Amino acid sequence: MTETNRRIVLKRRPVGMPTPDDFAFEDVPVPEPGEGEVVLKHLYLSLDPYQRGRLSDAKSYAAPVPIGGVVECRTVGRVLASRDARFAPGDIVLGGFGWQTHSVMPGKQLLKLDPAEAPVSTALGVLGMPGLTAHVGMSDIGQPKAGETVVISAASGAVGAVAGQIAKLAGCRVVGVAGGADKCRFVTGTLGFDACIDHRADHLGTALDRACPNGIDVYWENVGGALQAAVFPRLRDFGRMVMCGMIAQYNDADPPAGPNLGPVVRKRLRIQGFIVSDQWQRLGEWRALAVPMLRDGRLKYREDVVEGLEATPAAFIGLLQGKNFGKLLVRLPD
């Protein structure tokens, strides 16, 4: 094709917090599609905390980005050319790949989007992987019940915001934890949580005691670190801890020691981790539930959009530092 693909590749593996020098820009031709393939021009790139793990070569549930490889992410894009009868030029689809302006993907990996259903950017956030993560984690592990107390870490983020709203719709008292007064106001004022704690507070334990006087039944773990240590002793009998992420520790060369898990047996706790890619077949299930709630205002979301591929490395580093406010996206020129 005559199109040029501008892409960002991994130049070296980050040690601790990534820096812009860990990445490099390249310009390469966009290849012709093979049989069953589709060429996409990306409109939005999704930036998510899990991508930090892909930059490391430590053993994990997925292969790391190779040195010189395009950095991992999912995208929404416009079809430029297709050799799959299900897609035509101009279609908007979820399923493109990478920190780049274009990708060539098997059509079987793509989901056609209806721009009249919802803004197409939501396919990377509230109606996409983050929303599905919240749905799977809450329905399968958290199992919130009316009258219970649920604490959500990173409550203003893409996953935490949806997880907390699911618990609220189930009739729970929902307490968020977020960074700063603006995010806390969003969590209570827009998302409708009952309370929100600033994780920068000096006495997290005291703040949790005030917000959760009867203890905690469900804890949604996005963060780890000091917050997890403060929540753990306040879990009630038969409490559940949904282990979704540990962003506070992703850049640690020597992760801190965890809490004493001795009370797990006495309190009959459930602590379970999960990877949403194991449940990707349930995306349709989540979208069928979420789209009506989005339309009638029961489900709220917020997006933090930065412009242009060149802004991607700095935006990703800011995500790991908690600088984003809502689901972080990179918008590319159409």
What CATH number does residue 12 fall under? 3.90.180.10
How many domains are there within the chain?
2
Same domain membership, residue 309 and residue 269: no
At residue 137, φ and ψ (nearest 5 deg) are: -65, -40
In our burial notation (b when 16+ CB lie closer than 10 A, e otherwise), range 208-225 reads beebbeebbbbbbbbbbb
Same domain membership, residue 264 and residue 229: yes
Same domain membership, residue 146 and residue 85: no
Same domain membership, residue 230 and residue 138: yes
pLDDT at 252: 65
What does the mean pLDDT of the chain come to?
Answer: 94
pLDDT at 19: 96
Q: Looking at residues 77-104, what average pLDDT do you find?
A: 98
Residue 20 belongs to what domain range?
4-125+301-331
> What CA–CA distance (Å, rounded) separates 104 from 102?
7
AA identity, residue 115: P
Structural tokens at position 7: 């892409």
Could you tell me the maximum CA-CA distance found in the chain, to the nearest angstrom? 65
pLDDT at 81: 97
> What CA–CA distance (Å, rounded) separates 330 from 317?
13
Helix (H) or strand (E) holding 187: helix 181-189
pLDDT at 37: 98
Q: Looking at residues 221-245, what average pLDDT do you find?
A: 93
Query: pLDDT class for 255, splitting at 50, 70, 90?
Result: low
Structural tokens at position 20: 């812009």
Same domain membership, residue 140 and residue 118: no
- Look up the CATH number of the domain holding residue 204: 3.40.50.720
Task: Give counts: helices (H), strands (E), the chain.
Answer: 9, 15
Structural tokens at position 148: 């219970």
pLDDT at 253: 64
Rounded to two decimals, the pTM is 0.92
Cα angle 316-322-325, degrees, rounded to a multiple of 5: 90
Residues 17-41 pLDDT 10s: 999 999 999 999 999 999 999 999 9
